[in-house]
Amino acid sequence: MTQIQSTALYFILNLIFSLFGINNAVKRKKLLTWLKKEKANIVLMQETHLTDKEHEKLKRDWVGQIYYSSYSSSKRGVAILINKNTPFPLDTCMKDNQGRYVLLTGYLYGEHIFIGCVYAPNVYQKEFYSDLILGGDFNCTMNPEVDQFPSTKTSQPKMRETTKQLCADLQLLDAWKITNPTVKDYTFFSNPHSSYSRIDYFFSTRGVLDRIEECKIGTHLLSDHAEVSMVVSPCCPQFTSRSWRPNPSLLCQSSFVKFLKEQIKDFLANNDNNETNACILWDTLKAYLRGAIISYSTARKREAMKVQLEPEAQLKLFESQMKVCPSVGLKKELEATHSSLNQLLSQKAEASILYAKHRLFEMGDKPGRLLARLVAGRQQIKPISTLTKVNDSVNERQLKQSVLRNKATLNITA
């Protein structure tokens, strides 16, 4: 869903992401890196073209949970990825064996929710719609005159009417259209027909719709489908505190060491008057340096990402112009920008994979820091998202004693 300041207040759900296959390791790495940059909490993907074994390879880095439905390595496939820092105790998981849908129910920030990821057939199939509950990529436009350019009334009428009836029966609403009533945008570009259409939807109930902060359509960066993202505020926000530690690799940079010395010198010049208690001065210095280091790291990350962010902004501009006034020249510029940006992301992914292989080859099966980090990364985070009162005799003191007795098996995040 979209940009989030704190996972305690909002969560990002990239709802529609048709990929047309991610069998290639470089493409998978590009996708996971891009989603990490977008700070996504829950990702719904269609057309993964992965087997069960290949789907499990997506569970790495920031991905804590993955639920999927596979068909073959060349067709269909859907998956739901959940960030490891997002508390989502699963209740039930339902999926088919045709790679068409996966449905989840669980608790998100104490609220019982339903999430469905669907890849509908390209042609109308009555048996598919008779058994289905919720969708994502429906392969049809709800309003051809508005959701398709150039507009046509002959595209998939049966699928459109069935989808509308489904929404009416379940009282579901088109989240993007209601959030952006005056905006005209599309999620899919057909290169052979040079046409745009909005066939990727997120349908939600009125209760969820009232808490949507933002809903937008992205760019066609990694696929011929653009991602649909949405920011939703939980009904019961849970404020969390996270421990911070400086990046030790920064100490290897002479510019950072110089910056740190200047900050310490400036702090002492303004605060050390020979009367301030040394303990207070030391604690204040640590808080000051923390802010300075975070500011320095953010500036360096922004500078390093500038090479990628500028082409992304240019790609978004060209796409918006193409949707309004398409031309051959503009299409060539769009393709050139897309190709250069895709090449840049591929180079980064290939370098990351090569570095990982080199690091694993050097360490081999030796126990050390690398093995410890890999094991720590695989440990599931199990925060306590809700507390259930069993009976009236349970009081606060007994609850604390119970938690202390089980602290060896619980990982509680404050």
Annotated binding site for Mg(2+): 47, 137, 139, 224-225
Q: How many CA atoms lie within 13 A of 152 on its CB side?
A: 10
Query: Token pair for residue 137?
Result: 């990529």
Q: How far apart are CA 47 and CA 49, in angstroms?
A: 6
Catalytic member of 201, 225, 296, 338: 225
> What residue numbers does the annotated binding site cover?
47, 137, 139, 224-225
Query: Token pair for residue 352?
Result: 């990351």
Q: How far apart are CA 230 and CA 413, in angstroms?
A: 26
Catalytic member of 119, 129, 186, 201: 119
Contacts of 163 (CB under 8 A, 6+ apart): 129, 135, 138, 140, 142
> Helices (H) and strands (E) in the chain — how many of each?
12, 14
Sign of CA dihedral 20, 23, 29, 32: positive
Q: How far apart are CA 346 and CA 351, in angstroms?
A: 8
Contacts of 276 (CB under 8 A, 6+ apart): none
Give me Rg for the CA atoms of the chain: 25
Query: Token pair for residue 17?
Result: 């992401």
The DSSP bridge pattern shows strands 78-83 and 203-204 to be: unpaired
Active site residue 225: yes
Q: How far apart are CA 150 and CA 144, in angstroms?
A: 9
Q: How far apart are CA 103 and CA 121, in angstroms?
A: 17
Q: 19, 3, 12: which is closest to 221 by C-alpha? A: 19
Active site residue 119: yes
| Residue the block writes with tokens 């390093």 | 304
Active site residue 10: no
Q: How far apart are CA 60 and CA 352, in angstroms?
A: 14
List strand residue ranges (DSSP E) for 39-89, in order.
42-46, 63-69, 78-83
Q: How far apart are CA 324 and CA 185, in angstroms?
A: 9
Q: How far apart are CA 298 and CA 295, in angstroms?
A: 5
- Under 8 Å between Cβ of 260 and 253: no
The DSSP bridge pattern shows strands 11-16 and 42-46 to be: parallel
Q: 184, 181, 134, 148: which is closest to 16 by C-alpha? A: 134
Catalytic member of 137, 147, 174, 185: 137
> What residues are labeled active site?
119, 137, 225
